[in-house]
Structure 1
Amino acid sequence: MTTLSLRALNRALMDRQFLLRRTDRTPLEVIRHLVAVQAQEPNWAYVGLWSRIHAFTQSQLTALPADRQVVRSALLRSTQHLAAADDFRRLRPLLQPVLDRTAGSPHFSRNGTGPDPASLVAEGLELLAGGTLSRKELARRPAERHPGRDGRNLAGELELRTPLVHGVATGAWGSWGNRSGVSVTPAEAWLGQPMAATATAAKELIRRYLAAFGPAGVKDVQAWCGLTRLAEVVAEMRAELRRYSGPDGGELLDLADAELPDPETPAPVRLLPAFDNALLGHADRTRVISDEDRKRVMPGQARVRPTILVDGRVRGTWSLDAGTLWLTPFRPLRAADRAALEQEAERLLPFVGGGDVSYGDPATARS
C-alpha cells in the first residue's frame, strides 16, 4: 500500500479545492463539486468562491438563489450551507438524523419542555402554510402557543427538524454578520419538488466527498458531514475505492480514478474566508494547519477565523475592519511570500470594498 506524506495530502486537497489554481468553472459547478459551501455568514461564501474562481463577481452567486438553483439551509454538521437545489433535495434527507440529534440537544430544551418533535414540525408548517415568514415572526407565534418556552429556540429547532430554506435576501452580498433579516420557506414549496431520499445517497455522498477532499479516512468523512457508522457503508464500497496509508499509518481512501498532483507543485498564496471548507473537511486537519496554529484559528467551537495560506498551509489570519484589510501572519514570512501575500490582498480589496492593506491586529491598532 502506498504511503502518502503530509505534503502529498496537502497538494491533493489544494488541487481538489481549486486552490492550486483558480478554475474557469461556473459558481454553480464549483458549489456542486464542493458538495456544499459553508455559509454561516453569507458574505464569507462569496470570498471563498472568489479565492477559487477566475474573475468571480458577487452577482454571479447572488443570481443562483434568486433563480432557485442554489439554496441556503442547515445541512452538513447542522450548520448553514449553500448547496445546489438538486443536491439539497437528495442530501438533506440523508443528513436529517444529524440535524435531529442537534435539535434534541440540551440547548433547545433548556427553557422547559415544549411540543414533541412531530407536533413542532406540524405547527411550524401550519404557520408557514407553504409561504415565507421572518425568523422573528416564526419565533413569536410558537412562543404564544407554548408559554415559558423561548420562541427563538423553538424556531431554531424547527429549522433543524424540517427542511426550510432561507430567503434570497438572506444570502445576498453585503450583510457582514447581520442575521436579523433571515426569512424561511418550506424547501419543497420553494423548489416545487419533494425531498428525494434514495437508498444510495450515503455512497454518493462519500464519492463526492472524496472528489473534493480526498484521500481521506472514514473519520474524516464523518467529521465533515456529521453522520456516524459510515465504516459500514465504506466496507460495501471497497472494491471501487483505492487505498493508501497516511503519514500516521492510518488507512486513507480515494476514488479509483482520482489523480494526485506532484507533491512539489507550487501552491500560491490564498486568502480564505471564515469557516472555509478546506479547513473543516477532515477530522485530522494537519494536512492544512498545524495543531498549534489550529488553536489560534479556531479559538472556540463556533469560530473559524479567515486564514492566510502560504505554500498550501495556514500561516496566519486576516480580517476586514473599517475598510482596512489586516494581515496577521503567525510568524515572519520570507520576502517572496510576503510580496505574494500583499499582491493577493490588493486583489481582494476591491471585491470586499476595502481601501487599504495593513499588517497587525485591528484591535491592537485601535488601542
Structure 2
Amino acid sequence: MTVLDIRALNRATLARQLLLDHADMPVLDAVAHLGGLQAQEPQEPFVGLWSRLRAFDPATLSDLLTERRVVRTHLMRRTVHLLTADDVLAWRARHDPMLRQRVLGVYRRELDGVDLEELAAAGRAVMADGEPRSMPELARALAERWPAPGPRPIGEMLIAALIPTVQIPPRGLWRTKGGVRNAVLSAWVGREIDPPSSDGSDPVGQALVRRYLAAFGPAASADVRAWSGLAGLPAAIASIRDELVTFRDERGRELLDLPDAPRPDPDTPAPVRFLPAFDNAILGYDDRTRIIDDPHRNLSVAGERVLLLDGRVSATWKVNADTVTVTPLRSFSRTERAAVTEEGQQMALFLSDKESDRVEIAG
C-alpha cells in the first residue's frame, strides 16, 4: 500500500481546502465544498473565504445569509458553523444524538431527571410564534416549569441540541455587530429538515464521509470523527469502502480517499495563507501534524489566527489598530519575510476596506 508522507498529505490538504491556489468558485459553492466553515467568531468566515477565493467580495456572503441560503447553526462537534441551508437540512437529523450527548457531557448533573422530549416540546411551543429569541429569553420562558437546572443548561440543551435553530442576521454579516437571536431552522429557510433513514441504512453518513474526503482527504476514520463529532460512521465507511482508495501514513494508519480527488506533487509550491481563528483546515483532523507541529497544536483550539508558510503553521497574526501584526513561530528567511509582508498587506487592505496596508513582523 502506498505510503503518503507528511508533505504529500499537506499538499493534498491545501488543494482540497482551496489554499494551494485561489479558487474561481462561487461563494455558495465554496461553503458547500468545505462542508461549512467554523463560525463561532462571526467575522472569521470572511477571512477564511478571502484566503481561499479569487476576488472574494464579503457582501456576497452577507447576501447569502440574508437570503437564507447560508445559515449559522450548531452542527459539527456542537460548534457554530456557517453552512449552506441545503446541507443543514440534509445533515441535521443525523447529528441530533451527538448534539444531545455533547450538551449532557457538560450539564448531565443539572439536567438529571429532565425529560428531554417534554423539554423539546415546550421549547417548540414557545418558538411557535415565529419570534426570534436569545438563549436566555427562551430559557426564562421555561424557568417556572424547570427551575432546578438553571437557565444556562436549559438554554443550551434547547438551542444547541433539541430544537434545530439558526442565528439570524445581523449576526454574522460583514462589519456588523449583532447579538445572537435564534429562529427555528425549518421556519427560517421555509423547508422541513430531512427525516432520518427509516430502513436502517445511513445515506447521510455515507454522504458526510464522501464530502469530508473531498475537502479533507486522504484521511483516517478518526479524522472524519474529529471533524464531525459523530462516532457512528464506521458502518457508513464500510458500506462505501469499494468506492474508495486507501493509503497509509508514516505512522501506519490507513487513510481513505476518493479515487479522483487531487493529490498534488509534494514539491508543489505553497503560497503564504492567512487563516482565521478555529479554521477547520486544522481542527478538522484528529492527527493535525500534516499542517501544524504538535507543540503548536493548541494554538487553533485557543482561537489564535495562524499563518501558513510553505503549507505549515509558522506564525500567529492579529490586527492592532490599522496594522496586521505577525508573530513568527520560527525564524523567517529574507524571502519568507517578503512573501509574508506582501500577503499581509493584501489582508490589511481587505480588513481595513483599503485604508491601510500596514504589516509588522514581530521580532
Question: 2: CA distance between counterparts of 1:173 and 1:216?
Answer: 33
Query: What is the aligned partner in structure 2 of residue 247 from structure 1?
Result: 250
Structure 2, unaligned stretches of length 5 or more? none
In structure 2, the residue matched to 1:314 is 313
CA distance in structure 1 between the aligned counterparts of 2:21 and 2:147, rounded to whole angstroms: 55
Look up the match of 1:210: 213
Distance in 1 (alpha carbons) for counterparts of 2:311 and 2:186? 40
What residue number does 1:347 align with? 346
Give the equivalent residue in structure 1 for 2:77. Answer: 77
Task: Output one character per residue of 1:272-293: Cα deviation in whole Å (capped at 9) or x when no partner.
Answer: 0000110011100000001012
* Contact 1:327/1:360 (<8 A) preserved: yes
Which residue in 2 is equivalent to 1:365?
A: none
Whether the aligned pair in 2 keeps the contact of 1:210 and 1:255 (CA below 8 Å) is yes
Question: Following the alignment from structure 1 to structure 2, what is the Cα–Cα distance between the partners of residues 195 and 357?
Answer: 46
- Determine the structure 1 residue equivalent to 2:97: 97
2:297 is aligned, of 287, 294, 303, to 294
| CA positional deviation for 1:218 | 0.5
Letter in 2 for 1:168: P
Shift of 1:140: 2.4
What letter is aligned with 1:252?
L
One-letter identity of the residue aligned with 2:174: W
TM alignment of 1:185-334, pairs within 5 A: 185-197=183-195, 198=197, 199-295=202-298, 297-298=299-300, 303-334=302-333
Q: What amino acid is the match of 2:313? A: V
Contact 1:164–1:185 (Cα < 8 Å) also in 2? yes
CA shift digits 1:281-321 (9 cap, x unpaired): 110000000101214x14xxx52311010000000101123
The secondary structure found in structure 2 opposite 1:45 is helix
- Distance in 2 (CA, whole Å) between partners of 1:293 and 1:54 is 29
Residues 59-110 of structure 1: CA distance to partner in whole angstroms, max 9, x if unpaired? 11100111111111001001000111111001111111110111212x3355
Structure 1 residue 113: Cα displacement: 4.7
1:246 and 1:149 map into 2 onto residues whose CA distance is 46
Task: After superposition, give the CA deviation of every residue in 1:171-199 in whole Å (9 maximum; x if it has no partner).
Answer: 11235xx6x71111111111111111344
- Decide whether the 8 Å contact of 2:270 with 2:311 is kept in 1: yes
Residue pairs, 1:166-181, within 5 angstroms: 166-174=167-175, 181=179
- Structure 2 counterpart SS, 1:239: helix
Partner deviation per Cα, 1:207-250 (whole Å, 9 max, x = no partner): 01000000001011011101113222212212110011111111
Aligned amino acid, residue 94 of structure 2: L
Q: Which residue of 1 aligns with 2:362?
A: 360
Bigger mean CA offset, 351-360 vs 227-236: 351-360
Structure 1: runs of 5 or more not aligned: 362-367
Count of matched residue positions in the alignment of Structure 1 and Structure 2: 353
Contact preservation (8 Å) 1:309, 1:315: yes
TM-score, normalization by structure 2: 0.93
For residues 326-367 of structure 1, the C-alpha deviation after alignment (integer angstroms, 9 at most, x for no partner) is 110112101111111111111011222274322339xxxxxx
Deviation, 1:114, is 6.6
Task: Among all aligned residue pairs of Structure 1 and Structure 2, give the percentage whose two residues are the same amino acid.
Answer: 42
Moved more, 50-59 or 266-275: 50-59
1:154 matched to 2:154: yes
Per the TM alignment, residue 111 of structure 1 is displaced from its structure 2 partner at its CA by 4.6
Q: 1:130/1:7 Cα in 2 relative to 1: closer, same or farther (>3 Å)?
A: farther
| Cα deviations by residue, 1:20-41 (Å, 9 ceiling, x for unpaired) | 1101101100000011111011
Q: Aligned Cα RMSD in Å?
A: 1.8
Stretch moving more, 30-39 or 350-359: 350-359
Structure 1 runs of 4+ off > 4 angstroms? 109-114
- Taking the aligned partners of 2:180 and 2:109, their CA distance within structure 1 comes to 24
